Amino acid sequence: MQIMIDIDSNTPMFAQLIEQIKKAVQTDSIKPGDGLPSIRQLANDLNVNNKTVAKAYQLLERDNVIQTKGYRGTFVHPDAKANCSFDLNAWVFEKLSETIETLRKAGATDSEIRIAFGDVINNRTFKEKEA
Amino acid sequence: MQIMIDIDSNTPMFAQLIEQIKKAVQTDSIKPGDGLPSIRQLANDLNVNNKTVAKAYQLLERDNVIQTKGYRGTFVHPDAKANCSFDLNAWVFEKLSETIETLRKAGATDSEIRIAFGDVINNRTFKEKEA
DNA sequence: ATATGTACCCCTTAATCACACGGTACATAT
DNA sequence: ATATGTACCGTGTGATTAAGGGGTACATAT
Protein backbone atom coordinates (compact mmCIF):
# COMPACT_ATOMS: atom_id res chain seq x y z
CA MET A 1 0.00 0.00 0.00
CA GLN A 2 1.42 3.32 -1.02
CA ILE A 3 -0.07 6.63 -0.14
CA MET A 4 0.45 9.87 -2.02
CA ILE A 5 -0.49 13.28 -0.73
CA ASP A 6 -0.97 16.30 -2.93
CA ILE A 7 -0.26 19.39 -0.88
CA ASP A 8 -1.72 21.71 -3.49
CA SER A 9 -4.93 19.77 -3.90
CA ASN A 10 -8.25 21.41 -3.17
CA THR A 11 -9.26 18.42 -1.06
CA PRO A 12 -7.72 18.55 2.41
CA MET A 13 -4.92 16.18 3.26
CA PHE A 14 -6.78 14.23 5.91
CA ALA A 15 -9.52 13.61 3.36
CA GLN A 16 -7.00 12.38 0.83
CA LEU A 17 -5.74 9.92 3.41
CA ILE A 18 -9.22 8.63 4.06
CA GLU A 19 -9.93 8.26 0.35
CA GLN A 20 -6.79 6.32 -0.36
CA ILE A 21 -7.05 3.99 2.61
CA LYS A 22 -10.66 3.26 1.72
CA LYS A 23 -9.66 2.59 -1.85
CA ALA A 24 -6.89 0.29 -0.66
CA VAL A 25 -9.49 -1.66 1.29
CA GLN A 26 -11.91 -1.83 -1.59
CA THR A 27 -9.26 -3.07 -4.00
CA ASP A 28 -8.05 -5.66 -1.50
CA SER A 29 -4.74 -3.91 -1.41
CA ILE A 30 -5.05 -4.27 2.34
CA LYS A 31 -7.24 -6.83 4.07
CA PRO A 32 -8.96 -7.17 7.44
CA GLY A 33 -6.47 -7.73 10.18
CA ASP A 34 -3.61 -6.11 8.33
CA GLY A 35 -1.66 -3.58 10.31
CA LEU A 36 -1.50 0.03 9.26
CA PRO A 37 1.49 2.28 9.74
CA SER A 38 1.50 4.08 13.06
CA ILE A 39 0.28 7.65 13.15
CA ARG A 40 3.70 9.06 13.85
CA GLN A 41 5.37 6.96 11.20
CA LEU A 42 2.89 7.73 8.45
CA ALA A 43 3.01 11.40 9.34
CA ASN A 44 6.75 11.30 9.09
CA ASP A 45 6.74 9.45 5.78
CA LEU A 46 4.30 11.86 4.20
CA ASN A 47 5.85 14.87 5.86
CA VAL A 48 2.60 15.98 7.44
CA ASN A 49 1.64 16.68 11.02
CA ASN A 50 0.78 13.87 13.39
CA LYS A 51 -2.60 15.42 14.04
CA THR A 52 -3.49 15.32 10.38
CA VAL A 53 -2.96 11.58 10.22
CA ALA A 54 -4.62 11.10 13.60
CA LYS A 55 -7.68 12.92 12.32
CA ALA A 56 -7.96 10.65 9.32
CA TYR A 57 -7.51 7.56 11.48
CA GLN A 58 -10.16 8.68 13.96
CA LEU A 59 -12.71 9.22 11.23
CA LEU A 60 -11.85 5.89 9.65
CA GLU A 61 -12.30 4.18 12.98
CA ARG A 62 -15.63 5.88 13.57
CA ASP A 63 -16.78 4.47 10.25
CA ASN A 64 -15.51 1.04 11.26
CA VAL A 65 -13.00 0.86 8.45
CA ILE A 66 -10.04 0.51 10.78
CA GLN A 67 -9.56 -0.45 14.40
CA THR A 68 -7.09 0.95 16.87
CA LYS A 69 -5.81 -1.33 19.58
CA GLY A 70 -4.05 1.11 21.81
CA TYR A 71 -0.35 0.57 22.09
CA ARG A 72 -0.55 -2.35 19.69
CA GLY A 73 -1.24 -0.19 16.69
CA THR A 74 -3.99 0.19 14.12
CA PHE A 75 -5.53 -2.55 11.99
CA VAL A 76 -8.02 -2.98 9.20
CA HIS A 77 -11.49 -3.65 10.54
CA PRO A 78 -12.98 -7.13 10.01
CA ASP A 79 -15.94 -5.65 8.13
CA ALA A 80 -13.90 -2.91 6.54
CA LYS A 81 -14.92 -3.65 2.99
CA ALA A 82 -18.61 -3.54 3.76
CA ASN A 83 -18.32 -0.41 5.87
CA CYS A 84 -16.36 1.35 3.17
CA SER A 85 -19.33 1.47 0.86
CA PHE A 86 -21.38 3.56 3.26
CA ASP A 87 -20.51 7.23 3.01
CA LEU A 88 -21.67 9.05 6.10
CA ASN A 89 -20.92 12.42 4.60
CA ALA A 90 -23.11 11.70 1.60
CA TRP A 91 -25.91 10.68 3.92
CA VAL A 92 -25.48 13.87 5.97
CA PHE A 93 -25.60 15.85 2.75
CA GLU A 94 -28.88 14.25 1.75
CA LYS A 95 -30.53 14.78 5.10
CA LEU A 96 -29.54 18.42 5.18
CA SER A 97 -30.70 18.90 1.61
CA GLU A 98 -34.15 17.69 2.48
CA THR A 99 -34.44 19.89 5.53
CA ILE A 100 -33.13 23.00 3.85
CA GLU A 101 -35.44 22.52 0.91
CA THR A 102 -38.35 22.39 3.31
CA LEU A 103 -37.25 25.57 5.04
CA ARG A 104 -36.77 27.40 1.77
CA LYS A 105 -40.18 26.42 0.53
CA ALA A 106 -41.61 27.82 3.74
CA GLY A 107 -40.15 31.18 2.76
CA ALA A 108 -37.14 31.23 5.04
CA THR A 109 -34.21 33.29 3.83
CA ASP A 110 -30.87 31.59 3.37
CA SER A 111 -29.51 34.08 5.84
CA GLU A 112 -32.14 33.12 8.38
CA ILE A 113 -31.43 29.45 7.82
CA ARG A 114 -27.71 29.99 8.27
CA ILE A 115 -28.21 31.90 11.51
CA ALA A 116 -30.57 29.32 12.93
CA PHE A 117 -28.16 26.59 11.94
CA GLY A 118 -25.32 28.35 13.73
CA ASP A 119 -27.46 28.75 16.83
CA VAL A 120 -28.44 25.11 16.87
CA ILE A 121 -25.02 23.64 16.31
CA ASN A 122 -23.46 25.90 18.91
CA ASN A 123 -26.07 24.88 21.45
CA ARG A 124 -27.47 28.36 21.70
CA THR A 125 -31.06 28.12 22.79
CA PHE A 126 -33.35 30.11 20.55
CA LYS A 127 -33.23 33.87 20.95
CA GLU A 128 -30.75 33.67 23.77
CA LYS A 129 -27.98 35.75 22.37
CA GLU A 130 -25.94 37.24 25.12
CA ALA A 131 -23.35 39.95 24.85
CA MET B 1 -46.49 54.14 17.83
CA GLN B 2 -43.00 55.01 18.82
CA ILE B 3 -39.93 53.04 17.89
CA MET B 4 -36.67 53.04 19.74
CA ILE B 5 -33.43 51.60 18.41
CA ASP B 6 -30.51 50.63 20.58
CA ILE B 7 -27.35 50.89 18.53
CA ASP B 8 -25.29 49.04 21.12
CA SER B 9 -27.72 46.17 21.46
CA ASN B 10 -26.64 42.65 20.67
CA THR B 11 -29.73 42.15 18.56
CA PRO B 12 -29.36 43.71 15.10
CA MET B 13 -31.28 46.85 14.32
CA PHE B 14 -33.52 45.38 11.65
CA ALA B 15 -34.55 42.71 14.17
CA GLN B 16 -35.36 45.36 16.74
CA LEU B 17 -37.59 47.02 14.21
CA ILE B 18 -39.43 43.79 13.51
CA GLU B 19 -39.88 43.08 17.21
CA GLN B 20 -41.31 46.48 17.98
CA ILE B 21 -43.65 46.62 15.03
CA LYS B 22 -44.93 43.16 15.86
CA LYS B 23 -45.42 44.18 19.46
CA ALA B 24 -47.28 47.29 18.33
CA VAL B 25 -49.62 45.06 16.36
CA GLN B 26 -50.15 42.63 19.20
CA THR B 27 -50.94 45.39 21.66
CA ASP B 28 -53.33 47.04 19.20
CA SER B 29 -51.08 50.04 19.15
CA ILE B 30 -51.51 49.86 15.40
CA LYS B 31 -54.37 48.13 13.66
CA PRO B 32 -55.00 46.54 10.26
CA GLY B 33 -55.18 49.15 7.55
CA ASP B 34 -53.14 51.68 9.46
CA GLY B 35 -50.33 53.27 7.52
CA LEU B 36 -46.73 52.85 8.53
CA PRO B 37 -44.04 55.48 8.11
CA SER B 38 -42.26 55.28 4.79
CA ILE B 39 -38.94 53.50 4.63
CA ARG B 40 -37.00 56.68 4.00
CA GLN B 41 -38.79 58.61 6.70
CA LEU B 42 -38.43 55.98 9.38
CA ALA B 43 -34.79 55.53 8.46
CA ASN B 44 -34.30 59.24 8.80
CA ASP B 45 -36.13 59.45 12.11
CA LEU B 46 -34.12 56.63 13.62
CA ASN B 47 -30.90 57.72 11.96
CA VAL B 48 -30.33 54.39 10.31
CA ASN B 49 -29.80 53.40 6.71
CA ASN B 50 -32.71 53.04 4.33
CA LYS B 51 -31.75 49.48 3.58
CA THR B 52 -31.94 48.52 7.23
CA VAL B 53 -35.56 49.64 7.44
CA ALA B 54 -36.31 48.13 4.03
CA LYS B 55 -34.99 44.80 5.23
CA ALA B 56 -37.25 44.82 8.26
CA TYR B 57 -40.25 45.78 6.13
CA GLN B 58 -39.58 43.03 3.62
CA LEU B 59 -39.41 40.37 6.29
CA LEU B 60 -42.56 41.70 7.89
CA GLU B 61 -44.31 41.57 4.55
CA ARG B 62 -43.16 38.02 3.91
CA ASP B 63 -44.73 37.06 7.22
CA ASN B 64 -47.92 38.88 6.25
CA VAL B 65 -47.71 41.32 9.10
CA ILE B 66 -47.59 44.35 6.84
CA GLN B 67 -48.50 45.07 3.24
CA THR B 68 -46.75 47.34 0.81
CA LYS B 69 -48.83 49.01 -1.85
CA GLY B 70 -46.15 50.43 -4.05
CA TYR B 71 -46.11 54.18 -4.23
CA ARG B 72 -49.00 54.39 -1.82
CA GLY B 73 -46.99 53.30 1.16
CA THR B 74 -47.00 50.46 3.65
CA PHE B 75 -49.92 49.31 5.76
CA VAL B 76 -50.71 46.85 8.49
CA HIS B 77 -51.93 43.55 7.08
CA PRO B 78 -55.60 42.62 7.61
CA ASP B 79 -54.60 39.43 9.44
CA ALA B 80 -51.56 40.99 11.04
CA LYS B 81 -52.44 40.03 14.57
CA ALA B 82 -52.89 36.36 13.72
CA ASN B 83 -49.76 36.20 11.61
CA CYS B 84 -47.70 37.83 14.33
CA SER B 85 -48.02 34.84 16.57
CA PHE B 86 -46.28 32.55 14.13
CA ASP B 87 -42.53 32.87 14.38
CA LEU B 88 -40.92 31.47 11.25
CA ASN B 89 -37.47 31.67 12.76
CA ALA B 90 -38.52 29.60 15.74
CA TRP B 91 -39.95 27.00 13.39
CA VAL B 92 -36.74 26.96 11.35
CA PHE B 93 -34.80 26.52 14.58
CA GLU B 94 -36.88 23.52 15.56
CA LYS B 95 -36.61 21.83 12.20
CA LEU B 96 -32.85 22.26 12.14
CA SER B 97 -32.56 21.02 15.71
CA GLU B 98 -34.29 17.80 14.81
CA THR B 99 -32.15 17.19 11.76
CA ILE B 100 -28.88 18.01 13.47
CA GLU B 101 -29.74 15.80 16.40
CA THR B 102 -30.28 12.93 13.99
CA LEU B 103 -26.98 13.55 12.28
CA ARG B 104 -25.10 13.76 15.56
CA LYS B 105 -26.60 10.52 16.78
CA ALA B 106 -25.41 8.91 13.57
CA GLY B 107 -21.88 9.85 14.59
CA ALA B 108 -21.37 12.80 12.32
CA THR B 109 -18.89 15.40 13.54
CA ASP B 110 -20.06 18.96 13.99
CA SER B 111 -17.38 19.95 11.54
CA GLU B 112 -18.71 17.48 8.99
CA ILE B 113 -22.22 18.74 9.52
CA ARG B 114 -21.11 22.32 9.06
CA ILE B 115 -19.29 21.53 5.85
CA ALA B 116 -22.20 19.58 4.41
CA PHE B 117 -24.54 22.39 5.39
CA GLY B 118 -22.37 24.92 3.61
CA ASP B 119 -22.29 22.75 0.52
CA VAL B 120 -26.04 22.34 0.46
CA ILE B 121 -26.98 25.95 1.03
CA ASN B 122 -24.49 27.13 -1.56
CA ASN B 123 -25.89 24.71 -4.11
CA ARG B 124 -22.65 22.81 -4.37
CA THR B 125 -23.44 19.28 -5.48
CA PHE B 126 -21.83 16.75 -3.20
CA LYS B 127 -18.08 16.29 -3.59
CA GLU B 128 -17.89 18.78 -6.40
CA LYS B 129 -15.39 21.17 -4.97
CA GLU B 130 -13.53 22.91 -7.71
CA ALA B 131 -10.47 25.07 -7.39
C1' DA C 1 13.83 3.05 26.97
C1' DT C 2 10.50 2.79 23.30
C1' DA C 3 6.37 2.92 20.72
C1' DT C 4 1.29 2.98 20.69
C1' DG C 5 -3.10 6.03 20.45
C1' DT C 6 -4.86 9.97 22.61
C1' DA C 7 -5.68 14.45 24.79
C1' DC C 8 -4.67 18.89 25.84
C1' DC C 9 -2.53 23.79 25.13
C1' DC C 10 -1.08 27.28 21.72
C1' DC C 11 -0.75 29.45 16.82
C1' DT C 12 -1.39 31.10 11.58
C1' DT C 13 -3.82 31.10 7.28
C1' DA C 14 -7.58 31.87 4.20
C1' DA C 15 -12.33 31.89 3.58
C1' DT C 16 -17.12 32.93 4.52
C1' DC C 17 -20.77 35.57 6.38
C1' DA C 18 -24.12 39.03 8.90
C1' DC C 19 -24.74 43.63 9.55
C1' DA C 20 -24.80 48.15 8.26
C1' DC C 21 -23.74 51.84 5.33
C1' DG C 22 -23.45 54.85 0.70
C1' DG C 23 -25.01 55.85 -3.75
C1' DT C 24 -27.71 55.53 -7.92
C1' DA C 25 -31.58 54.37 -10.48
C1' DC C 26 -36.24 52.82 -11.84
C1' DA C 27 -41.57 52.85 -12.58
C1' DT C 28 -45.25 54.09 -10.15
C1' DA C 29 -48.66 57.67 -9.17
C1' DT C 30 -49.78 62.04 -6.72
C1' DA D 1 -41.41 67.99 -8.59
C1' DT D 2 -42.22 64.65 -5.07
C1' DA D 3 -42.68 60.43 -2.68
C1' DT D 4 -43.42 55.36 -2.77
C1' DG D 5 -41.14 50.56 -2.67
C1' DT D 6 -37.55 48.22 -4.89
C1' DA D 7 -33.23 46.81 -7.10
C1' DC D 8 -28.51 47.08 -8.15
C1' DC D 9 -23.50 48.41 -7.67
C1' DG D 10 -20.16 49.01 -4.08
C1' DT D 11 -17.69 49.49 0.95
C1' DG D 12 -16.03 47.94 5.69
C1' DT D 13 -16.06 45.54 10.20
C1' DG D 14 -16.19 41.90 13.20
C1' DA D 15 -17.11 37.10 14.09
C1' DT D 16 -16.65 32.31 13.01
C1' DT D 17 -14.61 28.43 10.81
C1' DA D 18 -11.60 24.62 8.55
C1' DA D 19 -7.18 23.10 7.85
C1' DG D 20 -2.90 22.45 9.30
C1' DG D 21 0.97 22.97 12.28
C1' DG D 22 3.98 22.91 16.97
C1' DG D 23 4.49 21.32 21.40
C1' DT D 24 3.81 18.62 25.62
C1' DA D 25 2.02 15.04 28.23
C1' DC D 26 -0.32 10.68 29.60
C1' DA D 27 -1.20 5.41 30.41
C1' DT D 28 -0.52 1.54 28.07
C1' DA D 29 2.42 -2.33 27.17
C1' DT D 30 6.67 -4.33 24.89
Beta bridge partners of A76: A66
List of B residues 26-65 with CB within 7 A of strand C = 47-52, 55
Residue A129 has pLDDT above 70, yes or no: no
Backbone angles phi, psi at B60, to 5 degrees: -65, -35
Q: Is the CB of A95 under 7 A from strand C?
A: no
Residues of chain A with pLDDT > 90, as a percent, come to 92
Instruction: Tell me the residue length of chain B.
Output: 131
Instruction: Choose the closest CB to A112 out of B92, B119, B130.
Output: B92
pLDDT at A131: 43
Low-confidence ranges of chain B (pLDDT < 50): 131
DSSP 3-state of B50:
helix
User: How many C-beta neighbours within 10 Å does residue B16 have?
Assistant: 20
DSSP 3-state of B36:
strand
Q: Domains of chain A (ranges plus CATH)? A: 13-84 (1.10.10.10), 88-121 (no CATH)
The whole-angstrom distance between A105's CA and the closest CA on chain B is 11
pLDDT at B131: 42
**Contact positions of strand C to protein Cβ (< 7 A):** 3-8, 16-24, 27-29
Binning pLDDT at 50, 70 and 90, where does residue A128 land? Answer: low
pLDDT at A18: 98
